[in-house]
Amino acid sequence: MLRCSVGSVRYSNEVISQQLAVIFTQCYGPFPIPKLTEIKKKQTSRLVMDQLSEEVRQESPWTMMFADDIVICSESREQMEESLERWRFALERRGMKVSHSKTEYMCVNEREGSGTVRLQGEEVKKVQEFKYLGSTVQSNGECGKEVKKRVQAGWNGWRKVSGVLCDRKISVGVKGKVYRTVVRPAMLYGLETVSLRKRQESELEVAELKMLRFSLGVTRLDRIRNEYIRGTAHVGRLGDKVREARLRWFGHVQRRENPHFLNNKEMSDVTFLVEGKPFYAHKVLLFTASARFKSLLSNRPAAENTCIEISHVKYNIFQLVMQYLYCGGTESLHIRNTEVMELLSAARFFQLEALQRHCEIICSKNITIETCVDIYKHAKFLGATELSTFIEGYFLKNMVLLIELENFKQLLYEAPTESPGPGPAYDMLHDLEQTLATRIHSIHLSSSKGSVV
């Protein structure tokens, strides 16, 4: 892992302010810059560094950028030197310069062996830790120093508002709100991406309880339980809040329009074989998605990459299921009418209720005189109760037209049979009677509402 800082070479022959000139010279080269209105017409909304590094930039986490700080990750020193040289060449030919003094590298979980990383023949400084975006990254993969920093940041925030928190005239409710607004965010900053151990989580909670006891004017000698202290100040357990922050952050990752983690071989730990094709996924997402995925992944050997064969789902349908899980909803799905019944079946199998309901709504919009019988049979086969009830109402509404159709007569008068699918056995006439009775009852209630008997 390597971090470098980028500086700029300024040009003096521009006609607009110097700072704006530097930005656009870096983007477009040392030639006269068009007026701002012309630039707006061109809709140049991309970030400056994104445009400068377009030819060498990789997807995260191999390349991460913030302002003039760049982090490059590689699996070997040779790859690191090659990547660093490509970045240096790409930036310098556009008027940027990589700072040698601010460039440093770190080996994570380094095995035996020595070596250095060089930039233009000059050895790059090796470190055991460095700070990036306010978080401390250590070469051994631990996070002890980051936890100590978060504890110190919490105490700094507490001291800033100690005049309020320690004032006996101020109510406990107000103190709790001030603490949750000022102190706790400083302690939780960046912890959603930190792998905390129980001991480190305990360090954070011990520091927090000390602050709360000081704020409430009690000590350990008063023998007041921690739960009572938290309940009085209306402050939940810090470990629970860290887990909430992780889930919130993971939701942001899921809702990306084009999630990098979807079907990514490099970062996956489980592989599905669908129609002979591999589909790469992540256990941490699937374990919480549904009970079906949890059962598929649980009784598997603890190998580096688990392989599971899915034999009854088409590849494009499975891809839609995964897109639903990784993007965090149905808004990003583009479902064709020819795929909706198969997707409904897959959603039912994988126990994804929200996706199943979404497919049922799409099916209900596609119901016609010609298709209603087939869709109804499929809904009964899958046990899609909501869709079945909706179609039964459609049958009652259009009975005059449907009674002339042969397939509807066959469905209406055939003897009750056991369903071959996961749905229960059904009797068409009995189901229609129940739906009709329910509708008559609801109409009666709505018409008699407000009347005096």
Tens-digit pLDDT profile for residues 56-90: 777 667 777 776 778 888 888 888 888 888 888 88
Give the C-alpha separation, 262 to 281, whole Å. 7
Residue 282 reports pLDDT greater than 80:
yes
Q: In whole angstroms, how far apart are CA 413 and each of 116, 118, 264, 370? A: 82, 83, 52, 18
Q: Please give the angle made by the CA atoms of 97, 99 and 103, to the nearest 5 degrees.
A: 135
pLDDT tens sequence across 3-41: 666 554 443 333 333 333 333 333 334 434 344 444 433
pLDDT tens sequence across 396-433: 888 888 888 888 888 877 755 555 555 554 566 677 77
Place of tokens 């008027």: 95
Q: Please give the angle made by the CA atoms of 178, 184 and 186, to the nearest 5 degrees.
A: 115
What pLDDT sits at residue 449?
Answer: 46
Give the C-alpha separation, 22 to 96, whole Å. 10
Place of tokens 């010609």: 370
Q: In whole angstroms, how far apart are CA 448 and each of 178, 339, 424, 442, 443? A: 53, 44, 35, 10, 9
- Spatial contact of 119 and 103, defined as CB atoms under 8 Å apart: yes
Whether residue 61 has a cis bond before it, omega within 30° of 0: yes
| Confidence band, pLDDT 50/70/90 cuts, at residue 135 | confident
Among 82-86, 165-169, 248-252, name the one with the lowest average pLDDT: 248-252
Backbone angles phi, psi at 243, to 5 degrees: -65, -40
Q: In whole angstroms, how far apart are CA 63 and each of 1, 73, 84, 203? A: 10, 6, 11, 33
- Residue 327 exposure: Cα atoms within 13 Å on the Cβ side: 15
The residues that bridge with 4 in the sheet, in sequence order, are 70
Give the chain's mean pLDDT: 77
Backbone angles phi, psi at 210, to 5 degrees: -60, -45
The residues that bridge with 281 in the sheet, in sequence order, are 270
Residue 133 reports pLDDT greater than 80:
no
pTM for the full model?
A: 0.51
Averaged pLDDT for residues 136-141: 81
Averaged pLDDT for residues 147-167: 92
- Spatial contact of 117 and 88, defined as CB atoms under 8 Å apart: no
What pLDDT sits at residue 72?
Answer: 84
Give the C-alpha separation, 380 to 386, whole Å. 10
Among 126-135, 289-298, 316-325, name the one with the lowest average pLDDT: 126-135
Q: What percent of the chain has pLDDT over 70?
A: 75
Q: In whole angstroms, how far apart are CA 410 and each of 255, 385, 421? A: 46, 21, 20
| Confidence band, pLDDT 50/70/90 cuts, at residue 112 | low
Compare 200 and 250 and report the one with higher pLDDT: 200
- Spatial contact of 26 and 8, defined as CB atoms under 8 Å apart: yes
What pLDDT sits at residue 175?
Answer: 92
Q: What percent of the chain has pLDDT over 90?
A: 18
